[in-house]
Structure 1
Amino acid sequence: MVRRRSFLLGASALPLIGPGTALAAAGPLDSGRLAADYWIRTQAVGGNDWQDATLHSGVMALYRATNDTKYRDYALGWANRHNFGLKSSSSNPHFADHQAAGQAYLDLYEDTPEPRRRAAVVREIDATIATGRTDYWWWVDALHMALPLFARLGKMDYGDRLYRYTRQRLWNNGLWWRDSKFVNKNIYWSRGNGWAIAALAKVLQVLPQQSPYRAGYEADFRQMAARLAQVQRSDGFWNVNLGDPNNYPGPETSGTAFFTYGLAWGVRSGLLNATTYRPVVTKGWDGLTRLALQSSGRLGYVQGVGQQPSDHQPVRANDTSNFAVGAFLLATSEVARL
């Protein structure tokens, strides 16, 4: 299948490199607002699939970072439009992409704990567990779509079993193959790995310190961080193939935004050494705001829905998407907190 919390700081929140521009010099939350406001202004309210689910996960992160209720209300309008429901498929039950909207629903529930805001999510995760199957997550994207739900609902005894199935098949020394088609090939898709590190960051934010699973997730997170730092481009971006910089090289925003989010959280939480990784975060954020974020608020250089580096090439300055805006807003919320 093809697929694809907070205080306002000023412009001095992170040191900048290079000559600087007005956008790069703006505070992180100003950049986040610019991107979110552009999307809200120019796009219709979308569906409850994985793409808009990722957008609204970022929108809710921006709401928590700014306390601006217009972002919460935007996400709430989207959730109400779908009755806080999840997509379903009789031919592909308990599909992680269809569960992804639950993350934003749980964010809204935590803001206002009305039972209906989490009811469908709880039913779906319990139904997944009831099957006893652990082979649902055959592609790496699924980790981001669904694993945080198991952690947030206190269901990690089962969530970890699902994670281990994926890890056993797709993990290779700190990076992930997208799915079985790429195993033992030097193709490590940037956004696929972005999904993974974002999933680990989200899980670790809610996993209790005493959890028997925590040490394993921390180790995987640190190993990913070390590999990512090694392959970052000089302009702050990551190429679409982390294993081969000559395979469709060029800036790409969605993977870079997820990496910036995950690594920024790692530094802020103390899981990653600040001396080593803060410069990586700084370069990533600097690249995103210097090149990808336009003065209008349009977020460009986004590889479209796909599964490998060759999809939707070339990646152009005006190419954008909802899921990348969500990733950028997640990065915004963590960079601001540094």
Structure 2
Amino acid sequence: MNKVFLIIVICLGLSACKVSQKTLAIDRNATEDAMLKALKWQEANPIMAKSPTDWTNGVYYTGVSKAHQSTNDRTYADALKSMAIKNDWKPWERFYHADDIIISYSYLYLNSIGEPGVKLEPTVNIIKDHLYKPHEWKNAQKEGNEPEEKNILWWWCDALFMAPPVIVSYAQQTNDITLLKEMDKYYAETYKLLYDKEEHLFARDTRFLWRGNANDKKEGNGKKVFWARGNGWVLGGLALLLNDLPKNYSNRPFYENLFKEMSQKIKSIQHEDGLWRTSLLYPESYNHGEVSGSGLYTFALAWGINNGLLSKAEYQPAVLKAWNAMLACQQGSGKVGWVQNIGADPGPATADSWQNYGTGAFLLAGSEVLKL
């Protein structure tokens, strides 16, 4: 039986998950069992923000895809196939919005493993339309509470998880490098707009940029606002993107360097209990761990180790500490708690707060921890 040494974790009452310094050996089966329980609970308790093909389900089923890839357990593939058939293999309705594309990652995964009956035409159409079709969205037209400076396609950092991995997956399966070049252009726009080169973190959107005026948003300690899940979207998205990006692709060094730079920062601000706080630079604002952001970081850091971009000696202790803390936030039913609700900035979570994307992040993390 394969075993790795992990940090034992306990969850005390309604407090956030705590880590003791005692170590025990936990086998692969325990991780696989936790992942499968999470899947079964989530399948029995479906939830989505707006549609079965919205971004919340898209993130969840991305986690299911990676769980199947790591375990080869048909239960995950069956869940993916059932979802895809119910959705008639379609993404959601807004071709111009990155959030509506991520569900197609699951369809492309099923295609990559040779699952019979896959229908990719809707996915192909939304990818091509998203990248090339004119729309007023690309001309700074706003909807609802969006920032005034929405003047690029991917104007919020979450988008870097929602669209680029799908584009790269499809480009890899079709050997279409022109799609990668178009992705590079849009990714560079987001990087230039939102990446803080001093903190090595992304602002969620332009509302959180510092421009030296009195209206700049600040945390209670005077620092910039950097949202855990927002940066988790970026770092987790980079791991997915790099996994399928050709090794000899001309712009790959940019993505690798960004991944390593962000990874170093994220590891440096991990809390002693293993989980990250929703406000990365003002952890005391909500002084408890949060699973969706932490899950995305755990997935990304473990992926970096497994693919030779991060030092195993340096990063594995952080990954194992985080994964054990996440296990302690899973209830006996399989439900994964301590997930911040849908939002765009730091906020609270509780032992009973959950979302399907939190389960997806849990499965993503487990899928790479297994490979350690």
Please point out which of 172, 176, 192 is paired with 2:202.
176
Q: CA deviation at 1:305?
A: 0.4
Q: CA deviation at 1:111?
A: 2.2
TM-score (norm 1): 0.89
Residues 1:323 and 2:357 are matched in the alignment:
yes
Bigger shift: residues 215-224 or 26-35: 26-35
Is the contact between residue 16 and residue 24 of structure 1 (CA under 8 Å) also seen in structure 2?
no
TM-score (norm 2): 0.82
- The match for 1:6 is none
Give 1 or 2: higher helix fraction: 1
Bigger shift: residues 167-176 or 19-28: 19-28
Please point out which of 155, 159, 163 is paired with 2:187.
163
1:86-117 alpha-carbon deviations (Å, 9 max, x no partner): 1113xxx4100111111011011112365853
Bigger shift: residues 34-43 or 222-231: 34-43
Instruction: Give, in whole Å, the separation in 2 of the partners of 1:302 and 1:20.
Output: 26
Instruction: Give, in whole Å, the separation in 2 of the partners of 1:203 and 1:253.
Output: 22
In the comparison of the two structures, how many residue pairs are matched?
322
Instruction: Give, in whole Å, the separation in 2 of the partners of 1:24 and 1:234.
Output: 23
Please point out which of 287, 290, 299 is paired with 1:261.
299
- The match for 1:3 is none
Please point out which of 4, 24, 47 is paired with 1:13.
4
Q: CA deviation at 1:44?
A: 6.8
Is the contact between residue 27 and residue 336 of structure 1 (CA under 8 Å) also seen in structure 2?
no
Instruction: Give, in whole Å, the separation in 2 of the partners of 1:209 and 1:33.
Output: 32
Read off the aligned partner of 1:245 and give its amino acid letter: P
Instruction: Give, in whole Å, the separation in 1 of the partners of 2:25 and 2:304.
Output: 27
Instruction: Give, in whole Å, the separation in 1 of the partners of 2:44 and 2:166.
Output: 30
Is the contact between residue 106 and residue 117 of structure 1 (CA under 8 Å) also seen in structure 2?
no
Residues 1:37 and 2:40 are matched in the alignment:
yes
Q: CA deviation at 1:317?
A: 0.2
Query: For structure 1, which runs of at least 5 residues remain unmatched after alignment?
Result: 1-8
Tell which structure's C-alpha radius of gyration is larger. Answer: 2
1:1-150 alignment to 2 at 5 Å?
10=2, 12-17=3-8, 18=20, 19=22, 27-43=30-46, 47-89=52-94, 93-112=95-114, 116-131=118-133, 135-150=152-167
Structure with greater contact order relative to length (CA < 8 Å, sep ≥ 6)? 1
Is the contact between residue 5 and residue 23 of structure 2 (CA under 8 Å) also seen in structure 1?
no
- The match for 1:4 is none
- RMSD between aligned residues: 2.2
Read off the aligned partner of 1:335 and give its amino acid letter: V
Read off the aligned partner of 1:198 and give its amino acid letter: G
Bigger shift: residues 34-43 or 129-138: 129-138
- Which SS does the other structure have where 2:110 is aligned? helix
Residues 1:239 and 2:277 are matched in the alignment:
yes
Give 1 or 2: higher strand fraction: 2
- The match for 1:5 is none
Q: CA deviation at 1:22?
A: 11
Q: CA deviation at 1:43?
A: 3.4
- The match for 1:287 is 325
